[in-house]
Structure 1
């Protein structure tokens, strides 16, 4: 039985991967330039880039525009805890808390926002663009939309977690009565891939969350993007017993 011969790109990727796993190239360290690596392995730049693409897809190496290729720090997993009125993100370890930067923008309703929020075209909305970071590396992305009159004006530019922005939003909006969450797996858009510095290989968990008050009015719509190689989604349903208590 004939064995397949590894291609040049996989041979190069295996060698770089081995150097990373053995600590000869450390997390956060910049790799030599693509021209230097191509010369070192005696291959064309195209072949070298193809080898790096393998490592990008595995999440071992990331390319930062204008700076080069870097060995990624190990990514801590995070769990999106849904199924309740207030969403939560839970890191896999106590010391793996994420920082969240927030950018606030005022805009008019358009496109899919019309259906999500049930508003007419050009209705005033406020968008909170939230990007979480683990150290200096981006981790997850969320776009939260609320009617302009329900948007707080004192949201800080940086928070410790997504729960912080949710707490600020709760200050002006009426109590929530219903939350609908839809989870799908898909490739990242080019913008998402660039923002999160990921390839399309692992895909993302895309969560659409729509919250309404007791009148049925939608008071918040959120679009969350969690890279599939570092995120889980957890939903717990509690049923009521005949006596009116919660069943386990």
Structure 2
């Protein structure tokens, strides 16, 4: 039986991992430059980056563009609660979470025409929402609703603040039905960049479609969470019919 011999970059990853888990390198601390680490371990920059990639994939190190590599702070798991709720499916009530929202009016095309069951070119209100815990991205949502159902005043804000988020938290009365499709898949380059995840780490993707009592789609939400720390919970309530008293 052949044994796999650890390569040089695995030895480096082991050493850095030990420094992180023992507290020698602390959460939030910036690692020396890649060139400096390569000199310290007497390896090429490519080998050093391979070692860092191992730790990035394990969630121990994160690379911030233009700033360097940092020991990643411990992040709590994300809990997505299924069913009709708030704009922030990551529980907006949590004070530690900050949600940024960008709004725009777009025209339906491609996949959106299918999701919202509208003709190509139909005006839609688009809400791009990113949830942060401190400086770390927590989740991503792209929410679309027919333009005529957009909450009054929300799209008039160039940079919606907390009040805009609050107004949008509940669009209207609960819809008649909500259908959610959940899958794990590789992230797109934009998702990987926004969520600061390794491109090899799957994301938990949820497509949520809400319809009213007439069958009209009132919202289509495309939700994406880092797959290595997200849980989705769905609860089913059974309605018991009242028994009529016997004659």
Q: TM range, normalised to the smaller chain?
A: 0.7 to 0.9
Q: How far has the Cα of 1:151 moved from its partner?
A: 1.3
- Residue number in structure 2 paired with 1:225: 224
SS across alignment from 1:119: coil
Q: How far has the Cα of 1:105 moved from its partner?
A: 1.4
Measure the CA separation in 2 of the matches of 1:206 and 1:212. 20
- Residue number in structure 1 paired with 2:35: 35
Give the direction of change, closer, same or farther, for the CA distance of 1:78–1:159 in structure 2 (3 Å limit): farther
- Report how many residues are paired: 236
- Indicate conservation of the 8 Å contact 1:76/1:96, yes or no: no
- Residue number in structure 2 paired with 1:68: 68
Matched, 1:206 2:205: yes
Measure the CA separation in 2 of the matches of 1:220 and 1:96. 26
- Indicate conservation of the 8 Å contact 1:143/1:223, yes or no: yes
RMSD across aligned positions (CA)? 2.3
- Give every structure 1 segment of 4 or more consecutive aligned residues whose post-TM-superposition deviation is greater than 4 Å: none
Return 5+ residue gaps in structure 2 as ranges. none
Aligned pairs for 1:69-84 (under 5 A) are 69-82=69-82, 84=83
Q: How far has the Cα of 1:163 moved from its partner?
A: 7.8
Aligned pairs for 1:79-228 (under 5 A) are 79-82=79-82, 84-86=83-85, 88-90=89-91, 97-152=96-151, 153-154=153-154, 157-159=160-162, 165-167=168-170, 169-170=171-172, 175-228=174-227
Measure the CA separation in 1 of the matches of 2:226 and 2:120. 31
Return 5+ residue gaps in structure 1 as ranges. none
Q: How far has the Cα of 1:26 moved from its partner?
A: 1.1
- Indicate conservation of the 8 Å contact 2:90/2:131, yes or no: no
- Residue number in structure 1 paired with 2:59: 59
| TM-score, length of structure 1 as denominator length | 0.87
Write out per-residue CA displacement over residues 122-169 of structure 1, whole angstroms, 9 at most, x where no aligned residue.
111111100000101111100000111211223773449x887432x2
